Amino acid sequence: MTDHRVSAMLHDAGAETWAAAVAHPMVREIAAGTLPHELFRGYFLQNVLYLEAYARAIGLLLAGAPDRSALNVLTRFEARIVQNEIPANLAFLEKLGGDADTVAGRGRMHPTTYAYTRHLLAVCAMEDCAAGLAAVLPCQWSYGEIARPLMASRPADPIYADWIALFGDDDYDALVDDTTALLDRLVDPTDGQRMAVLAEIFERSTWYERAFWNMAYGSDGAGSSKEQAKEQAEK
């Protein structure tokens, strides 16, 4: 049976890109607990910077929220990033060796992080709330989809087990449900031209999700390669 919700239609339209992001080799190694810690540390070095820009993008959506219900959903979305995920990422980074520049707000974005965050900020600043939601949802939604099935068999390494738990609970799923429902409410799914624009935005963000994993994993040439991380761990 076809799901005619706007969010489901955008998800399905970019299914191939989505599958490549949520089943990325780095994600599989996190699930297995086999990812070298140095690679995960590199991920957090960039993800803290990403999340700060992501929070600003959501803040731009708040400014354009069409009604009180939208304000409620977006405020909770913003609070989740600022009050929960950024502190959690900094705590993971500290456990993996820390980084004074990142803690002090002096970290530098890799090109992929910069491009992804500028895409989010541009859409959220220049387009309406629905378009902005199409841009920011792939990150929030994909992390829940990654984590939920892993909760029953989390790896023994507490770093990876705790990261999975950050996105794998009922509260996280409920927030994803609320943000996708807001997008569904704001857009007429029978408006083909509008849906085509949103699908392009949604898939571009999903593409960047995969690119971010590639960057963190070293498969795009940015940051440490997996082999370098293993060598560092063995020293």
Instruction: List the structure tokens of 187.
Output: 């857009």
- pLDDT computed for residue 122 by the predictor: 98
pLDDT at position 22? 97
pLDDT at 126: 98
pLDDT of residue 235: 40
Q: What is the pLDDT of residue 219?
A: 74
Between 1.10.1660.10, 1.20.910.10, 3.40.50.2300, 3.40.50.300, what CATH number should domain 6-227 receive? 1.20.910.10
How many whole angstroms separate alpha carbon 47 and alpha carbon 54?
10
- DSSP string across 168-209: SSHHHHHHHHHHHHHHHHHS-TT-HHHHHHHHHHHHHHHHHH
> Which residue numbers in the chain have pLDDT < 50?
221-225, 227-235
Contact 86, 48 (CB under 8 A): yes
Quote the pLDDT of residue 224.
46
**For the chain, which residues make up each domain, given as ranges?**
6-227
Give residues with Cβ within 8 angstroms of 133, minimum separation 6.
61, 179, 182, 183, 186
Q: What is the pTM of this model?
A: 0.92
